[in-house]
Amino acid sequence: MTRGVYRLGDDAVSFYALVEEGEVTLVDAGLPIHYRQLTELLGGIGRSVQDVRAVLLTHAHLDHVGLAERLRQEAGAIVWAHARDVPALANPRRTPPEAKPEANLGAYLLRHPTALRAPLHMARSGALRTPGITTASSFSGGETLDVPGRPHVVAVPGHTPGSVVFHLPSQGVVFTGDALVTHDGLIGRTGPQLIGPVFSHDTTQARVSLENLVALDADLILPGHGEPFRGPITDAVQQARLTSF
């Protein structure tokens, strides 16, 4: 992929390990079922969960925070999220009113029952057992975090009120979480795109926030859902702007 960056997860959700000088930062934290995969990856490069120093959350949805509290307890890792998403971490299984998605998932599934595959996968992978995160540090966007990899935080509200991406300028890498993905698990669409209103708080704002990505020096996009995208980030943003729901 690129030096010191490892992709984890499965066909439905991705998260990433960033390794620098033997210390580890996780970008997002997958689902509870992914713990063994994480330990095997770290063991294969001579590291362990005790080397995880930080867990950086692109946003506070269940499929991105699954291992965060466990790593906080077992490794003493500091969990970081945008200040506007931190309140949701205490009970990630219940979306707070101020962050509710625009559209109702249940109503959507009644019209498109085949889309049930994505939430069923999450349930089977332990999403509904995800513990609340009892202590988290916050950022507001614009910071370069003093954690392994020193990622720069860019605020991209819309998918959730506190959605962010993490940029590694020296490597031309951006972790986009769900602000820009390359696979829609409900309808199977691939390529750079936005996530629809059944999972997003404000899709209009999410579309506007794509502008915050244009100036980033990056040619490798690592999303929360779908395959990595290689190429100028401007190309990915241009395609995502065309997303229709």
Give the CATH number, domain containing residue 33: 3.60.15.10
Residue 98 lies in a domain: no
Residue type, 103: A
Q: Work out the angle at residue 181's Cα, subtended by the Cα atoms of residues 156 and 9, and round it to the nearest 5 degrees.
A: 110
- pLDDT value at residue 108: 79
Residue 11 in tokens: 């066909």
- pLDDT value at residue 110: 80
Q: How far apart are CA 171 and CA 228, in angstroms?
A: 15
- pLDDT value at residue 115: 80
Residue 97 lies in a domain: no
Distance of CA 131 to the CA centre of its chain: 17
- pLDDT value at residue 194: 98
Residue 87 in tokens: 């309140």
Q: Can you tell me whether residue 94 is helix, strand or coil?
A: coil
- pLDDT value at residue 145: 98
Residue 148 lies in a domain: yes
Residue 15 lies in a domain: yes
* Overall domain count for the chain: 1
Residue 35 lies in a domain: yes
pLDDT tens string for the chain (245 positions)? 788 999 999 999 999 999 999 999 999 999 999 999 999 999 999 999 999 999 999 999 999 999 999 999 999 999 999 999 999 999 998 999 889 999 988 887 888 787 888 888 889 999 999 999 999 999 999 999 999 999 999 999 999 999 999 999 999 999 999 999 999 998 899 999 999 999 999 999 999 999 999 999 999 999 999 999 999 999 999 999 999 88
Q: Do 201 and 221 meet the contact criterion of CB atoms below 8 Å apart? A: no
- Structural domain boundaries enclosing 146: 5-92+103-241
- pLDDT value at residue 150: 97
Backbone angles phi, psi at 234, to 5 degrees: -60, -35
